[in-house]
Amino acid sequence: MKKIAIILAFLVLIIFKQGFAQNMNLGVAIKGSTMGLGGDVVFQFHERMDARLGFDYLQYSTQKDFSESDITYLADITAKTGSVTALYDFYILKYIFVAAGFGLNNFNINATGKAINGYPYGDIVIAADKIGDFEFDIAPSMRISPYLGVGFGRALGKDSKLGFGFELGSYYQGSPDLTIVTTGLISPTSNPDHGQEKLFESQISQYYLYPIVKFSLSYKIISF
């Protein structure tokens, strides 16, 4: 079976080469973007067309305290970006191209926390552990997000082994999904009957696009 698969793959390459009557190129690229850091495998099968398979990832964590109704809370916040992508490029000019495809969108913001001081209520103080814990989680409603962009440069170098690209685009990720979990005295915040989750979701619904600014540096491995 392996021999048959290798023979079929070889025949497909021959057909591609005969159909386009020119060299095809395979290379790799490192990239940095508003989706994080990562890399691509680039297959250029026509002077004006190539395909990219890639990934990127970035994570940032911090702690932040804030006050609400005389109660101070401490939150652990983690923001992640990243994707696994499949893109197609078409060069409308020698160094200008449009890119289209889709990505597995791993954008996520998560905040977990709790009260760190008690709440005075008349002659008593409600202990911090009675006030409760909370968790807020924000993620795209469309994990598989379509992508459209315009680029300048080349995904693979045209006249040399090195290539450089700059790209502007956007993922359509849909209105973000918000999940709230709370306990203790603040548990009504996550109660569907109070509608807080829906209210917060409506306030972030305009962020249905994820903007992309991307730089890449590529190396052509082989031509055939």
pLDDT at 12: 47
Question: Which tokens hold the place of 106?
Answer: 């791993």
pLDDT at 221: 95
pLDDT at 8: 44
What domains sit in the chain, N to C, each tagged with a CATH number? 25-223 (2.40.160.170)
Q: What is the DSSP letter of 64?
A: E
Separation of alpha carbons 52 and 34, rounded Å: 18
Q: Which residues of the chain have pLDDT under 50?
A: 4-5, 7-9, 11-12, 14-15, 18-19, 21
- CB 117 within 8 Å of CB 111: no
pLDDT at 1: 52
